[in-house]
Structure 1
Amino acid sequence: MQLEEVKAVLVDVLNLGDAGASLGPDSPLLGALPELDSMAVVSVIAALEERFGIMVDDDDISASTFATLGSLSAFVADKQAQ
């Protein structure tokens, strides 16, 4: 399941450890996870690009993309479909 793969990338890049296990589709990300700062967003995007074989342009990124785990997973799915 793609959501689980996106979650695994987040847990790995942000070093969330066991705390990442409770993340679900509706879990808030940006503003809710102190580990997810502006530098971490860049690292997460790079990891998602590598893991899923996608290219993310700066114009593609908005706060809504990182609102929840579900919105981030949907963003990745959209990029893969392009």
Structure 2
Amino acid sequence: MPDDTDLLLRRILTDVLGLKQGQAETFDAGTGLFGHLPELDSMAVAGLLTELEDRLDIIIEDDEIDGEMLETFGGLLEFAKAKRATA
């Protein structure tokens, strides 16, 4: 069963990227994000990171942002979980 970080991340992706209802629920750890979802372009990344900070009550430093973190749903989820654990 997904934890609340997983559920929140799926909601954030749906809201920020304007995904179809239920689309994010089909994502697994290997689902490609940046470079795979046309909705997640370089302009959308800033909005996504801002929403992650606001809704997950975390702070993302500039040096923590890299392509690997945004490459897959699993990568972004692990990053979000780690940030929440240390928040």
Are residue 60 (structure 1) and residue 60 (structure 2) matched? no
The 5-angstrom pairing of residues 15-34 of structure 1 reads 15-18=18-21, 19-34=23-38
3-state SS in 1 of match to 2:28: coil
User: Structure 1: how far apart are the matches of 2:76 and 2:18?
Assistant: 18
Name the CA distance, whole Å, in 1 between partners of 2:80 and 2:25: 20
Q: Distance in 2 between matches of 1:43 and 1:23?
A: 20
Match of 1:5 in 2: 8
Task: Name the structure 2 match of 1:36.
Answer: 40
What is the alpha-carbon distance in structure 2 between the residues aligned to residue 49 and residue 30 of structure 1?
18
Q: Which runs of 5+ in 2 are unaligned?
A: none
Count of aligned residue pairs for this structure pair: 82
TM score, norm. by length of structure 2:
0.86
Moved over 4 A (4+): none
Asked if the contact 1:3–1:70 (Cα under 8 Å) also holds between the matched residues in 2, the reply is no
- Give the % identical residues: 35
Report the aligned-residue RMSD.
Answer: 1.2
Q: Does the aligned pair in 2 maintain the 1:13–1:43 contact within 8 Å?
A: yes
Q: CA deviation at 1:72?
A: 0.4
Q: Which has the higher contact order (CA 8 A, sep 6+)?
A: 1
Counterpart residue identity of residue 17, structure 2: L
